[in-house]
Amino acid sequence: MDIRIKIVVVDGHTLTRYGMLGLVGGHADIELVGDTGLGAEAAALVAATEPDVVVLDTALPDRDGLLVARELRDRYAGLGIVLLASNGEDEVLFRALEQGVSAFVAKTAPTNEILAAIRHAAVSANSFLASGLGPAFARRQLVAPRPVLSPREAEVLSLLGQGLSIPAIAAGMFVSHSTAKTYVARVYEKLGASNRAQALMAGLRLGLIRKELASSA
C-alpha cells in the first residue's frame, strides 16, 4: 500500500509555496494537499484537508507564525508542525521548542534537511528536531544571568568601591551596623563573591560599577 505524507503549507510568500510544491513533487512519499498565505486560514485549512504535517512560516503577513503553531498544537495533538524560519536565531529556535512544534528549519537549509524535517514530523509529531539545537543550548548555558541588585544593594556596592568600611557605610546610609553588614552580605551572595575585591571585580565585569570605582578601592 502506497502511504503518502500529506502536507499543507502556510507561508506568506507565493514563491515559497510554489517552491515547496516543486520540492515535494519529486518525492513519491510526500503530497501537498493545500496551501495558504495567511495564518488566520491555517486552522480551517487543516480541518478541511486533514494533513499529516503543516509547514509553517514564522513571519506571516497577518499573524505570528509561532502563535499559529501553538494554536494548532493545542487543537491537533498528533499533527506534525515544521516551522520555517528566515533565520536560525537561538531565540526563535527556543520559542519554537516552547510552542510544541515538531521541527525547526531555516529557509536557507539544504532541501534534504527540509525533507527530513517533514518526514520526522509525520512520524514523531511531539518530539523536537532542529539541526542547531545542541550548539544553541551550549550558547545559552554560557550566558549567565545578570544579578539584579536592589537600589540599596547597588548603593552598597558603590560605597564598597569607594573603599568605605562597613561602619562608614552604615553611617553614610543612616542605617545600623548590622543592617549595613547584611546589605554587604547580600551583595557578596548575589555576585558570587567572598570578599570586597571579588565583589568589585564581579560588579565591574557585569557593568554594575564604573572602572574608576573598582580601581580606587
Query: Residues 17, 90: one domain?
Result: yes
Q: How many domains does the chain have?
A: 2
Supply the DSSP string of 18-45, one letter for each residue.
Answer: HHHHHHHHT-TTEEEEEEES-GGGHHHH
Number of Cβ atoms within 10 Å of the Cβ of 5: 21
Query: Residues 40, 117: one domain?
Result: yes
Helix (H, G, I), strand (E, B) or coil at 8: strand
Determine, yes or no, domain membership for 76. yes
Query: Residues 45, 121: one domain?
Result: yes
Query: Residues 84, 189: one domain?
Result: no
Residue 217: the pLDDT is: 52
Determine, yes or no, domain membership for 80. yes
Rounded-to-integer distance, Cα 109 and Cα 119, Å: 15
pLDDT in tens, the chain (217 residues): 467 999 999 999 999 999 999 999 889 999 999 999 999 999 999 999 999 999 999 989 999 999 999 999 999 999 999 999 987 678 888 888 888 899 999 888 999 999 999 999 999 998 889 987 778 777 766 655 667 788 889 899 999 988 899 999 999 999 999 999 999 999 998 888 888 888 888 887 777 876 545 544 5
Determine, yes or no, domain membership for 209. yes
Determine, yes or no, domain membership for 146. no
Query: Residues 67, 123: one domain?
Result: yes
Determine, yes or no, domain membership for 166. yes
Looking up residue 124, the CATH number of its domain turns out to be 3.40.50.2300
Angle at 28 between CA 24 and CA 30, to 5 degrees: 45
Determine, yes or no, domain membership for 190. yes
Helix (H, G, I), strand (E, B) or coil at 51: coil
Residue 28: the pLDDT is: 92
Query: Residues 121, 155: one domain?
Result: no
From 141, 159, 191, the end of a domain falls on 141
Query: Residues 28, 135: one domain?
Result: yes
Residue 161 domain boundaries = 151-216
Query: Residues 114, 30: one domain?
Result: yes
Query: Residues 137, 51: one domain?
Result: yes
Q: Which helix (H) or strand (E) holds 47?
A: helix 42-49
State the cell numbers at 134. 545542541
Query: Residues 67, 165: one domain?
Result: no
Q: What is the CA radius of gyration of the chain?
A: 27
Determine, yes or no, domain membership for 33. yes
Q: Nearest to residue 184, comparing CAs of 216, 147, 150, 157?
A: 157
Query: Residues 74, 164: one domain?
Result: no
Determine, yes or no, domain membership for 187. yes
Rounded-to-integer distance, Cα 82 and Cα 130, Å: 10
From 141, 163, 178, the end of a domain falls on 141
Looking up residue 166, the CATH number of its domain turns out to be 1.10.10.10
Query: Residues 51, 9: one domain?
Result: yes
Q: Nearest to residue 153, comparing CAs of 127, 109, 102, 188?
A: 188
Find all residues with CB under 8 Å of 76, minimum gap 6, and list them.
46
From 117, 141, 165, the end of a domain falls on 141
Q: What is the pTM of this model?
A: 0.65
- Asked if residue 93 lies in contact with residue 109, where contact means CB atoms within 8 angstroms, the answer is no
